Amino acid sequence: MLARLARALIVLVCWGVLTAVTLWAGFSVRAPTPSHAGHVWWITLALELLCALALLLPRHVSAVRRWSAAYLMFAGVTYMLAGLAGLGPNLELIEAAVWDVLISPYLLISYVVQVHQHYPYLLSSTPFHVVPEGPHTRFSAAVLVAGLSGILAAYAIALSYRLGYAIWYCLLAITLVSLSGYVLVARVNPGYHPLAVPLCWEASYILALALTHIRSAKNPGSQ
């Protein structure tokens, strides 16, 4: 019992630090005078959500799998919120702020469109977008579905269902492809969008998914 509590505490501290670094990077690199109180608020909120998600999982789930799956659920929640913000009325600023600290699949699309229209000229001064301009109900709905799928798949992973892993591998592939948009944009316009935030998120997704495979013997009978 004490060993399980110790492992749970270690995993919680590790994920807390990782989430804190990611959120701090996201909200400070764009603010000339970042508010430390604001950082503490966001970090505390993220940790509280992470703990709440971990408590939703069954008791028999091992500590490492529990916190890793909870983090994947947390990732799904962030994208679900981005999709909801895009579908809600008069929430454009909130939606833009959320996408500014996530991995947006639209940045790669925006890059391809700009290359098609302007290559090889003006790419360094061409605006790229993480959110589609104008109405984008389909985009937001797709993001909402992806976020919900990530939450349900992470819960299935905690129960050792193979379908959950399959869904998250697909979502991970999407984020990896989307990350290439940030790399391409950084090459032609280094000052447009920092790579630190999306790289931190992607690393955390990969690490969380990898950790769910640890001690899978405690959850026999993967389905």
Unique residue bearing structure tokens 């931190």: 200
pLDDT at 155: 92
Can you give the pTM of this predicted structure? 0.75
Write the pLDDT tens digit of every residue in 147-164.
999 999 999 999 888 999
- Could you tell me the two tokens for 67? 């916190």
Write the pLDDT tens digit of every residue in 88-142.
888 888 888 888 888 988 888 887 877 766 555 565 666 677 888 778 889 999 9
Asked if residues 107 and 178 have their Cβ atoms less than 8 Å apart, the reply is yes
End-to-end CA distance of the chain: 28
The predicted model gives 7-18 an average pLDDT of: 60
